[in-house]
């Protein structure tokens, strides 16, 4: 697909959501993007004058982090892009794949175990973000919905848990940890991040 055609589709999607919901989307997730899709999304938002607070086309971490935007390389006041990682781990689409959830009970057990692990890490002083991906066509069946109801009730029973939208997370992170060029987060320089050497994972041989 030519870039201009993809940009036209992106613009149409933003306008359609704004028309139906009363405001344009403040973040974006492609899932199956091309090598230039993230750049085109950024360009369309900028051209339309619509704020793009987050991008979730990343599976790299359990916490939000900043990336530099190449198009802002020579700008005096770059804004960066906040990545709020997505995850296929606690995803109800696994009901539809052979290696996924065999029953609603499997879904509940898996999501609960993931939550308990991250909750424990949070109590030890290292809080995390957990994504629970839901689709009407998957979890929205009567035989599966009870598992979702149980996990919501379980999470609600715990203290110090923030159930938030990605936009709410982005707004909070932007306020508490504003963008600094070349940094994943304040004090965490990209090339000096844990387990990396010159921005390359320390446990993998660097490409020649």
Write out pLDDT tens, residues 25-84: 999 998 887 888 899 999 999 999 999 999 999 998 889 999 999 889 888 999 999 999
pLDDT at 82: 95
Average pLDDT for 105-133: 94
What is the rounded distance in angstroms from the CA atom of residue 130 to the CA atom of residue 114? 8
pLDDT-above-70 percentage for the chain = 91
Strands 90-91 and 65-67: unpaired
Run of H or E including 143: helix 142-156
Burial of 142 (0-12, 13-18, 19+ CB in 10 A): exposed
Position 122 confidence tier, pLDDT thresholds 50, 70, 90: very high
Least confident piece of the model among 8-12, 42-46, 106-110, 203-207: 203-207
φ/ψ (deg, to 5) at 81:
-130, 130
First to last CA, the chain: 32
Q: Is the pLDDT of residue 205 over 60?
A: no
Map out the domains of the chain with their CATH numbers: 87-199 (3.20.20.370)
């Amino acid at each position: 697909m030519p870039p201009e055609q993809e940009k036209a589709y992106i613009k149409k999607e933003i306008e359609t959501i704004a028309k139906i919901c009363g405001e344009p989307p403040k973040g974006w997730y492609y899932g199956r993007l091309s090598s230039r899709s993230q750049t085109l999304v950024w360009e369309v938002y900028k051209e339309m004058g619509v704020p793009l607070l987050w991008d979730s086309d990343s599976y790299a971490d359990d916490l939000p982090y900043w990336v530099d935007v190449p198009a802002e390389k020579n700008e005096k006041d770059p804004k960066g892009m906040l990545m709020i990682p997505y995850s296929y781990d606690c995803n109800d689409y696994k009901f539809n794949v052979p290696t996924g959830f065999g029953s609603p009970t499997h879904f509940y057990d898996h999501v609960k175990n993931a939550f308990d692990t991250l909750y424990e890490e949070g109590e030890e002083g290292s809080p995390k973000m957990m994504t629970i991906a839901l689709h009407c066509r998957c979890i929205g069946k009567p035989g599966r919905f009870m598992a979702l109801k149980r996990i919501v009730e379980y999470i609600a029973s715990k203290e110090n848990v923030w159930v938030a939208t990605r936009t709410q997370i982005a707004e909070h992170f932007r306020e508490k940890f504003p963008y600094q060029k070349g940094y994943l987060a304040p004090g965490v320089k990209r090339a000096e991040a844990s387990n990396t050497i010159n921005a390359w994972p320390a446990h993998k041989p660097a490409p020649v």
